Structures are given as C-alpha cells and as structure tokens.
C-alpha cells in the first residue's frame, strides 16, 4: 500500500478518506457453515487422557510463525504484528475474517485454517484481550459530517484508489496503459527519484535496487513479463507465504525442500488448496492424548501454481503421467506386499501405521500415516528412496530402516530378501488405496 497523500493537506485528506471508508457497510455475507469433520478411515481414538488437552489455538496453529503476538510491542522482522487488531477490526469482524480470510481479497497471504465458528470466536477473543486499547479509548468515533464524507468519496475517486480496489464508484483517475509506456516513462511517476519525486503519483518507498530493476525491465520489450516459470513462482511465493517458518521447524512438519520430490503434484495442489477431506496425520495418538494438533491451512489461489513449481524445483515434471498410462495393481504382487506389512512374516508396519479401517496397533512414540492414503500422495521414486534409508531423507524421523546397504532385508523367505522386489510388492499393495484389505494379524495365510 503506497502513500497517496503528501503535503500540508495530507492529514485532512487521509481523515476524509478514512471517514468515508468507515461509513461504508460491507455487503451482507451469507451464513458460513462450519467445515465438515475430517474423514477418518480408522475409528477415532478413545476419549482424551485427562489433563492433556490441546493448547490455545494461537499456539497449536503456530500463529507466531507469521505474526508477532498482540502483547509484544516490538514487531519481529518479516512478521505481521497483531498489536493493532482492536483498532483495525470492528466488533465481530475479526472472527469473521479468521473464518474466511480471502472473502475480501482473493490473493491474500493469510491462509484458511478451517476454523469453526467457536474456534474463530475463541481465537479472536484471545487476540483482542492481549491487544492494547486503541489510542483515544475504545469508544466508537462520532459520525462524520456529510461534507467530510463527500470529500472522502471524491478523493477515493480521484486519487487512484479504484485502480487497485474494486468498487462501484466511478474511477476518475485512470493510470496510463502499461503498453503505452515510453522509455522516459520509467523515470517518472512512481519511479521518480530525487528532485523529480513527488507530484500526484503514489509513493511506494521503493528501495534503490528495486527502482533500478524496474527501470531495467522497462528498457526491454517486456515480453519476459508474460513468461511463467513454475519453479520461480514456487521459490518466490513460498518465501512470501513463509512456508519454511513451519516446515522443518516443528515436530511433524516435513522440510519444505523435500516436498516437491515427495508428493504427487495433483495431490499436493488439492492439499495446499484445502480440497483434501482428511488429515494425513491424526490430531490424537491412538491412546487419546494430543498428537499433532496443528493443521495445514489452505492457500487456495496459490495451490495450483505452487504444486507444479515445487515439483520442477525438485527436478520432476509438473504433472503426473495421465491415468491411462497407470498400470492397475498387480494382484499377485499386492498379496505379497500385504503380507510384508503384517506382523507375521512381515516388517510389522501395522504397529505404527493404520491400514485402511484398521488403526495402528502398538504405536510407542510416533504414529505413521494410514497406508491406505500413501499411494495417492507420494511418488513411487520417493517411496523407494525413503524405504531404503529414511534417515537420509529426514534425520529426525522415527521410521526404522529395514534394508541394508547391499539392498537386502532380513525377510529372506520373500524374494530371497531382495529389497527392490519386496518394495515393488509393497507398492503394488499401496496402489489399492482405500480398497486394500488390512494384513492378517494371526498366522500367515
């Protein structure tokens, strides 16, 4: 947001615009239902263990990864301070915003955490309690005079506001068309420096390097601006969205730089966009205590562009082969893979991983993802690399290694312990997805 008004009249002009904007009534929003509960493959765990409830939402959602809390006076670099929420949001508006951040701006960087009405209200109440009172007290301002409102309305129309912000008012300050710019245009207006700065152009307080970069682009034919490079988009936007403020920082959050080579881009796009109806990891341990209370928020408009860019950044194609090219599961190999996941004659994967409707059996420290969800989520190449040596991919994983450096497993009765053939069999079973039948828990069949 640039500085639009300058000179002695700037404070009064800003006050007039603020008064006019405050007089506008937002369009009535339709009733927003609570998000549907997560779809569960296995039965939910028993009642929570007493005294182990999930902490406050500000903590469990890791809001501090992007925001400075309201009771902290000094904002941290790169974080948005919440100290002024009481000044910014009218009564009830903060909870509405938390439930649907993109309602007023589609490309907002604030993601959607699928908050219920009660969660949004609780989070808003906590933030507002911590925030200092607005300057001048909490009393609502007196209604503005009609003349001030009319002045503000005229300034909104004539100051360029409507070039960026949509509204039904007539726009009386059209900016020049971009394709009409001449070489000298790139030293005027918003890009003017020194004695040439000022005038009616907005002031974006651009750093000298940014000005130089924009002028360099202006000296070209500017066709590069029509180019879309998915990997560059992912690199730029993941930094601006602060993906690495959570990923790789907290327990249960995979490092961001491995995700492009791990996840199928189609699934990643759906997951980042909030279109997946299950959580890959449960919120509670099978015994009932909190497990991974954090939830991946939805970055709706960014998802379809981030996912292919993440894949390309890891050296993979931006999309998976078409479904017609996918081979259906090999039934014979899948049967072998089913046995290899079991407790009898297998690696006992079912101890830590649920398998479709069967929950994990003996989780001690770290529950794995339900294996019925694995084949649709991850790339086969990643599966092979992960299974051969999990610690090489994630040094903090609790996943054990079952194969030695020569590519053999201790289960020599299955394919003579050949790791590649055993992994192929497991993969064929994983391809069954939610059609898979859990391994037998008694004698091997």
Tens digit of each residue's pLDDT, the chain (445 residues): 999 998 899 999 999 999 999 898 876 556 789 999 989 888 776 655 444 444 589 998 999 999 999 999 998 999 999 999 999 998 889 999 999 999 989 999 999 999 999 999 999 999 999 999 887 665 556 677 999 999 999 999 999 999 999 899 999 998 888 888 888 888 888 898 876 676 778 899 999 999 999 999 999 988 888 899 999 999 999 999 999 999 999 888 899 999 999 999 999 999 999 999 998 877 777 676 777 777 899 999 999 999 999 999 999 999 998 766 678 999 999 999 999 999 999 999 999 899 999 988 887 677 788 999 999 999 999 999 999 999 999 988 889 999 999 999 999 999 999 999 999 999 999 999 999 999 987 644 4
Q: How many angstroms separate the CA atoms of 9 and 35, rounded?
A: 48
Q: Are residues 342 and 419 in the same domain?
A: yes
CA distances from 411 to 334, 350, 404, 421, 442 (A): 17, 16, 12, 12, 18
Q: Is residue 145 a part of any domain in this protein?
A: no
241 CB neighbour count, 10 Å cutoff: 18
* pTM of the predicted protein model: 0.89
Q: Are residues 242 and 270 in the same domain?
A: yes
Q: Are residues 300 and 394 in the same domain?
A: no
Contacts of 287 (CB under 8 A, 6+ apart): 45, 46, 49, 363
Q: Is residue 347 a part of any domain in this protein?
A: yes
- For residues 191 and 198, the answer to whether their CB atoms sit within 8 Å is no
Count: domains in the chain: 3
Q: Is residue 440 a part of any domain in this protein?
A: no
DSSP at 68: E
Q: Are residues 334 and 415 in the same domain?
A: yes
- For residues 426 and 371, the answer to whether their CB atoms sit within 8 Å is no
Q: Is residue 139 a part of any domain in this protein?
A: no
Q: Is residue 106 a part of any domain in this protein?
A: no
CA atoms within 13 A on the CB side of 382: 20
Residues shown for the chain: 445
Q: Are residues 394 and 413 in the same domain?
A: yes
Tell me how far the alpha carbon of residue 128 is from its chain's centroid.
24
Tell me how far the alpha carbon of residue 107 is from its chain's centroid.
12
Q: How many angstroms separate the CA atoms of 218 and 186, rounded?
A: 6
- Say what the pLDDT of residue 95 is: 94
Q: Are residues 349 and 425 in the same domain?
A: yes
Q: Is residue 355 a part of any domain in this protein?
A: yes
- Say what the pLDDT of residue 49 is: 47
Q: Are residues 244 and 184 in the same domain?
A: no
Contacts of 254 (CB under 8 A, 6+ apart): 247, 248, 262, 394
- Say what the pLDDT of residue 27 is: 64
Residue 408's DSSP bridge partners are 418
DSSP at 108: -
Q: How many angstroms separate the CA atoms of 324 and 314, rounded?
A: 25
Write the DSSP assignment of 127-187 as a string of letters: HHHHSPPPTT-SSPPPPPPHHHHHHHHHHHHHSSGGGTS--SSPP--PPPPGGG--GGGGG
Q: Are residues 274 and 347 in the same domain?
A: no
Q: How many angstroms separate the CA atoms of 346 and 337, rounded?
A: 9
168, 169, 172, 177 alpha-carbon torsion, rounded to 10°: -10
Domain's final residue, options 273, 302, 324: 324
3-state secondary structure of 355: strand
The helix, strand and coil proportions of the chain, stated in percent and rounded to the nearest 5, come to 45, 5, 55
- Say what the pLDDT of residue 52 is: 42
- Say what the pLDDT of residue 28 is: 59
- Say what the pLDDT of residue 323 is: 67
Q: Are residues 343 and 261 in the same domain?
A: no
Domain's final residue, options 324, 354, 371: 324
Q: Are residues 262 and 213 in the same domain?
A: no
Q: Are residues 423 and 332 in the same domain?
A: yes
Domain's final residue, options 265, 292, 324: 324
- For residues 377 and 388, the answer to whether their CB atoms sit within 8 Å is no
Residue 298's DSSP bridge partners are 112
Sign of dihedral through CA atoms 86, 87, 88, 92?
A: positive
Q: Is residue 334 a part of any domain in this protein?
A: yes
Q: Is residue 265 a part of any domain in this protein?
A: yes
pLDDT single digits (tens) 225-270 = 889 999 999 999 999 999 999 999 988 889 999 999 999 999 999 9
- The CATH number given to whatever domain includes residue 368 is 1.10.760.10
- For residues 130 and 70, the answer to whether their CB atoms sit within 8 Å is yes
Tell me how far the alpha carbon of residue 162 is from its chain's centroid.
29
- For residues 68 and 83, the answer to whether their CB atoms sit within 8 Å is yes
Domain that holds residue 218: 176-192+205-225
Q: Are residues 334 and 360 in the same domain?
A: yes
């Amino acid at each position: 947001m640039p500085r639009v008004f300058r000179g002695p009249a700037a404070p009064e002009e800003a006050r007039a615009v603020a008064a006019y904007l405050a007089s506008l009534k937002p369009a009535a929003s339709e009733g927003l239902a609570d998000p549907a509960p997560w779809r569960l493959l296995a039965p939910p765990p028993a009642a929570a263990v007493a005294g182990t409830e999930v902490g406050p939402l500000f903590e469990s959602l890791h809001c501090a990864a992007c925001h400075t809390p309201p009771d902290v006076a000094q904002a941290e670099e790169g974080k948005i301070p919440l100290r002024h929420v009481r000044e910014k949001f009218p009564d009830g508006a903060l909870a509405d915003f938390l439930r649907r951040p993109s309602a007023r701006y589609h490309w907002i960087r604030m993601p959607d955490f699928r908050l219920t009405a009660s969660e949004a209200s609780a989070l808003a109440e906590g933030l507002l309690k911590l925030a200092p009172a607005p300057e001048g007290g909490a009393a609502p301002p007196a209604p503005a005079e009609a003349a001030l409102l009319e002045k503000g309305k005229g300034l909104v129309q004539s100051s360029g506001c409507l070039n960026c912000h949509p509204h039904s008012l007539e726009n009386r300050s059209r900016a020049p068309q971009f394709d009409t710019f001449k070489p000298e245009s790139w030293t005027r207006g918003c890009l003017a420096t020194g004695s040439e700065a000022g005038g009616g152009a907005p002031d974006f307080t651009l750093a000298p390097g940014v000005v130089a970069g924009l002028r360099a682009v202006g000296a070209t034919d500017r066709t590069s601006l029509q180019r879309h490079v998915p990997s560059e988009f992912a690199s730029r936007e993941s930094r601006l969205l602060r993906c690495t403020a959570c990923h790789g920082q907290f327990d249960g959050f995979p490092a961001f730089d491995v995700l492009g080579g791990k996840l199928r881009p189609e699934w990643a796009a759906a997951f980042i966009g909030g279109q997946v109806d299950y959580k890959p990891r449960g919120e509670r341990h099978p015994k009932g205590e909190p497990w991974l209370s954090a939830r991946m928020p939805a970055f709706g408009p960014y998802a379809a562009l981030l996912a292919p860019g993440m894949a390309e950044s890891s050296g993979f194609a931006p999309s998976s082969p078409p479904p017609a090219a996918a081979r259906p599961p090999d039934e014979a190999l899948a049967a072998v893979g089913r046995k290899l996941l079991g407790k009898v004659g297998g690696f006992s994967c079912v101890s830590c991983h649920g398998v479709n409707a069967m929950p994990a059996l003996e989780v001690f420290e770290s529950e794995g993802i339900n294996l019925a969800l694995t084949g649709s989520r991850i790339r086969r190449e990643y599966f092979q690399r992960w299974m051969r040596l999990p610690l090489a991919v994630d040094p903090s994983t609790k996943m054990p290694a079952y194969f030695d450096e020569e590519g053999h497993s201790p289960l020599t009765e299955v394919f003579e312990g050949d790791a590649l053939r055993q992994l192929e069999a497991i993969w064929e079973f994983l391809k069954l997805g939610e059609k898979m039948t859990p391994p037998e828990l008694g004698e091997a069949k």
